[in-house]
Structure 1
């Protein structure tokens, strides 16, 4: 008897087939060695639209809301271009999967979708929608290397054991449908004038918008303040100079300029004494291993043009190619069971590095700690070394590999020196403080060539006399907070604003482990992208800013709970608690349904305010020239440049994906068509021959003698 394995994507199915040495591929699946391996393309099924339950919901009407189905149902996912049509590829693949499951020689089904909430329901909705009586198992893997696949298949679990994860996934999906459908519809009807894009309202979307709004307002309302600093330059008895800053009552920034002016005057003709000297050797540990949010923050901050969404896509590609472990993780440490595997991976990835002999495997608590792992361990490389990567993949892979190697390099060490210089004048209460730093051990900083700037102070002793050779009073202005970047926004989302200042704080770790967050590692990038797409935020350089529409949503939309980080964080924590069987799916959904019902009624009772007016400009159709067949205007369409008289049967068209031009790696442009229609001939530059050489040619588009179709003729330009 055979087992059917269902994966989330074709690439993962190929990884499992490779591990099992199955070469036989058929339409929609692999078969061999006791297994049939088939695949989804992410979600093949989606929840019904409101109108699928009740045809009156096809038209939005305030009276029809709130709308909460008594029984949630699934259908084949919609075509991305036409929501009223089923996606052809999804429908075909579902039919293949169902036919395989129904085969008499199939004894069991194994879901091998990603080991997370979303992966669980992708597999479960496909399998249980068929209502099969065959046993269902779960393959739970953190990476797709051959060793792990074979080990995983020997240790499959009954899928029924994954019920809490399924409950959490279903709860998230149904809750977001109910909140999104109801509040988006009602908000659009209440606050938007004119037909067009809806006003998107979402459980994760709005609190994320509010984080950006609050920072924008803090900058807008910031009132700069003047402050002053006093510095002095001292000379030791052996002619060495150093600088210090005046500090009084632990404060070196003074609002009152006169205070410092009096001290400055009192420095005249004075000497000073070294009142104290502290020298401390400090250890600097490497930053923790990456979780997804930290990886996204690191890459978007370091490289221009990168977004969180792009980092996730590239990391997902590396994961599916077996080069890194599961990327959608919130953990920054590894499970203790991975000690041997990690040692093996380290032996592979360190080979050939100039500091290879400094890389030593150790079972450190900063790296291996079960108490700080939530569902998945941190991201690390696998033992498979990539032979070829795209430039983008190289950037992400190298960041992950380097961060991994750093954990097993010597701890960096530096020496910090602090000198207190007291003026020999009893009227001056404070002291001048000088700080120096010298790097002693480079350690893990070698991996990414982290520069450490040394500030070297002269060798002095306590009670030693020094002379004052210069002093200056400088004025400064307090600076406003900085706009959020994707890096700082992800940090706030990760803990719903708790402990986000320090990436390694215990408070932050506790928030992550409890699931108290806005969204999940898998969805945060998508949320930021959606905020841009719906026009609530915009990007300037790396800064995220609210648009006028975004500001109006925050200021006008009355359901303030949806902007509250605490409220959203608690909802996300409840989903995490459902996974841990501390809360039930039904109780969570009842809470969501009640909240949505109350929210809809509150919006209905609000005053009518227009926060978005959609005006449609009539699109001006540009005539590119006269049709050579009938003389009517030729215009640009979605797929080609054709005659505007096509309804009456004129067949003149130049297709945008013209096959003849495509053989020379060229597509017709608007300018090219204009010239052709005007002159009957057009010079096309930069054509590519079969051998890859570039050339120019004169092109003529001639009508066939025996029908109304056209063909290209080409004359080489000398």
Structure 2
């Protein structure tokens, strides 16, 4: 009997289905020589500082820096009551360890995600038990039945994945040390009042600095006028075309007088077509998606999407077996996947009207081992979805279409460049016109990408033309645009090494570029969305439509916090590169951690030596202890607290609370109000206006807040009038 540990229940079910196991017990499946159980992501978390030393439960400067001699783990905390362990996690961890100890279990297989975090999740659970049984690793890029069966035939000893575990643990410990120590001393130094903290993080601060720098560029931008001279010419066939005066490659002039002098020289002069160049050009499809490009594509195209939301939807599709592993940095596929890709393409194009144009081939742009890191690009699998939610459809269709595009004909267009010269005018330059005509639609047909044709008349070199009119256009230089999630993700992905290209919609050369920069980034594909979300949650940035903007608190932090290395993209990129090299056994975990220990100590001492200043002042709102109504669990009074409306009997264990940041309401752009809570407690329901749907429409509905049948927590229920 072999025990398989999956990262989530949904993945566990996929494995059980692939092994045709029908017998489901509480917390696991069993049959056909296997037991399949699951975690809920991280079941264990690192100790809090106060778990090592009770004196650290109160923040005092003298307590820091604090560096544990040994890092320890505990059951993850209950999200509602941080002081207590999560009961579901505790229960499942106990079950997993019981299954591991069963006498008929001869080996354990970790089937957690094939990345740093997945390795840490599986290893922390398995090795907490000090097992002497053999431990293996199942490494899959998708959870389809064929892949599960194939993967189980090729399991590897878990010891072979030690470098991946070293990288994961190094990341975890480093972020704990920097986060705990610097957040504590920064809050003590720069915050007045209690109740919040100044969040300091290895990935958080350089990401904030990217947005801060762009905001500063925009603030300091001084607009300047520039001028263009434009003209219309008429052919002998009475066709009119438009042209712009150019000297070399420059069509923008700082001095209007320069163009006014040229205008004078144009009077009563004839013109001729002096040059004509016609080129047939190819347009290749954009490369396959990695996570950052998928997030950028969706957030840029659809209103109301964030990179965090794209990742969550993609993760659901992955766990449902419809797409391959989404947390990838690669935009190509391993060459060994040629046969599988052909099979997938055959399945996903069945109902397309243009499927006869789709031809599978082993293309270097698609299949290239040199441009694949741990995981290949995101593609659909051969499992076709029968039903998807609206959100899932958007993400799945984007991935499917991008995959199909690779095997469509290359788009082609004809570009014509005309130069028109003024005779006897003695000008340095000429008037230039460009035309473009789409000849082959090719891959653009997949998503109906529109190409705008610009037609020029049929003329030959030396054909005489007539100058019809000319005028000087005054234009103004524009500041750079605020970062969006799309452009921010691109800078994070390359640590700013592509500065100037973040607004570029083409990713034609991204694969080659990313191969050079392997590992040199801010965060990983899995964490970047979470970082952007946290920046919003802690109040360092805000989102205005699609633009990301630094708040006053964010600006003050950048300008005041003295550890400038943490804002430096180069520094952060080197740390991430070191973690990448630990995975590849090119750098040691011990050397990395030694550097982090010293950096933490030096940084804490530097903050302590800085002068006192207030970045964040926390003002506690006075509570009136106004009674909202009776608690539906115990009958005591429900009152308003700082974070929610909760039962006054909470010290005795009553769990009733309606959080002010309730995610269900937040998804509809609402927060609970006193009026709403009073109505819920009095009438069992509340009529709520101004709720926002996923499509952005507002509506009114009745909401109930009802106790779950199997635990003491509550869930929302929505009702509509007939």
Deviation at 1:415, TM superposition (A): 0.3
Listed one character per residue, the Cα deviations across residues 374-412 of structure 1 (whole Å, up to 9, x for unaligned) are 100000000011000000000000000000000000000
Identify the residue that residue 22 of structure 1 maps to in structure 2: 21
What is the CA-CA distance between 1:510 and the residue it aligns to? 3.7
Is residue 558 of structure 1 aligned with residue 562 of structure 2?
A: yes
Tell me how far apart the structure 1 counterparts of residues 552 and 622 of structure 2 sit (CA, whole Å): 24
Q: Do the aligned residues in 1 keep the contact of 2:436 with 2:454 (CA within 8 Å)?
A: yes
Question: 1:665 — aligned with what?
Answer: none
What is residue 370 of structure 2 aligned with on the other side? Answer: 371
2:255 corresponds in structure 1 to 256
Contact 2:578–2:592, Cα closer than 8 Å, also in 1? yes
Q: Which residue of 1 aligns with 2:53?
A: 54
Aligned 8 A contact 2:288 2:377 in 1: yes
Contact kept, 8 Å, 1:498 with 1:511, in 2: the verdict is no
Relative to structure 1, is the Cα distance of residues 470 and 155 closer, same or farther in structure 2, using a 3 angstrom cutoff?
same
Q: Deviations over 1:48-85 (max 9, x none)?
A: 11111111111111111111111111111111122211
State which drifts further: 262-271 or 193-202. Answer: 262-271
Q: Which of 516, 529, 532 is residue 533 of structure 2 equivalent to?
A: 529
C-alpha contact (below 8 Å) 1:418/1:435 kept by paired residues: yes
Q: 1:237 to 1:315 in 2, by over 3 A?
A: same
Q: 1:403 to 1:618 in 2, by over 3 A?
A: same
Deviation at 1:266, TM superposition (A): 1.9
Is 2:413–2:440's contact at 8 Å kept on the other side of the alignment? yes
| Cα drift, residue 672 of structure 1 | 8.3
Q: Is the 8 A contact 1:193 1:613 kept in 2?
A: yes
1:146 paired to 2:150: no
Say if 2:598 is the partner of 1:594: yes
Instruction: State the alpha-carbon separation in 2 of the partners of residues 613 and 639 from structure 1.
Output: 21
Query: Which sits farther off after the overlay, 501-510 or 102-111?
Result: 501-510
Determine the structure 2 residue equivalent to 1:354: 353
1:4-60 deviation per Cα after TM superposition (whole angstroms, max 9, x unaligned): 000000000000000011111111100000000000000000111111111111111
1:198 is paired with a residue whose SS is coil
Aligned to 2:105: 106
5+ residue gaps in structure 2?
660-671, 690-700, 703-720
Partners of 1:685 and 1:164 lie apart in 2 by 53
Partner secondary structure for residue 137 of structure 1: strand
Question: Normalization by structure 1: what TM-score?
Answer: 0.89
Q: Distance in 2 between matches of 1:311 and 1:482?
A: 23
Q: Distance in 2 between matches of 1:533 and 1:611?
A: 17
1:271 CA drift (Å): 1.1
Question: Structure 2 matches for 1:122-137, cutoff 5 A?
Answer: 122-137=121-136
**Paired residues of 1:180 and 1:202 also in contact (CA < 8 A):** yes
Q: 2:287 aligns to what SS in structure 1?
A: coil
Shift, 1:226, TM fit? 0.4
Distance in 2 between residues matched to 1:677 and 1:376, nearest whole Å: 51
User: How far off is 1:426 after superposition?
Assistant: 3.5
In structure 2, the partner of 1:75 is 74
Deviation at 1:507, TM superposition (A): 8.7
- Structure 1: give runs of 5+ residues left out of the alignment: 658-667, 687-695, 698-716
Counterpart secondary structure, 2:382: coil
Distance 1:535 1:247, change over 3 A: same
User: Using the alignment, how far apart are the partners of 1:171 and 1:156 within structure 2?
Assistant: 25
**TM-score of the superposition, structure 2-length normalised?**
0.88
Deviations 1:435-482 (A, max 9, x none): 000000000000000000000000111111100111111100000000
Structure 2: distance between partners of 1:655 and 1:563: 38
Which deviates further from its counterpart, 250-259 or 530-539?
A: 250-259
For 2:252 and 2:149, the matched residues in 1 are separated by 63
Question: What residue is the counterpart of 2:181 in the other structure?
Answer: 182
Counterpart check, 1:518 vs 2:522: yes
Shift of 1:596: 0.7
- The residue matched to 1:106 in structure 2 has which SS? coil
What is the CA-CA distance between 1:609 and the residue it aligns to? 1.1
Q: Is the alpha carbon distance of 1:238 and 1:527 closer, same or farther for their aligned partners in structure 2, counting shifts above 3 Å?
A: same
Q: Does 1:227 align with 2:226?
A: yes
Q: Spell out, residue by residue over 1:91-134, the C-alpha distance to the aligned partner (whole angstroms, 9 max, x if none).
A: 00000000000011110000000000000000000001110000
Q: What is the rounded CA distance, in whole Å, between the counterparts of 1:373 and 1:675 in structure 2?
A: 56
Larger radius of gyration: 1
Shift of residue 505, structure 1, vs aligned partner = 3.3
Q: Which residue of 2 aligns with 1:548?
A: 552
* CA–CA separation in structure 2 for the residues paired with 1:150 and 1:681: 51
Distance of 2:215 and 2:429 partners within structure 1: 38
Q: How does 1:302-317 map to 2 (within 5 A)?
A: 302-317=301-316
Residue 119 (structure 1) aligns with: 118
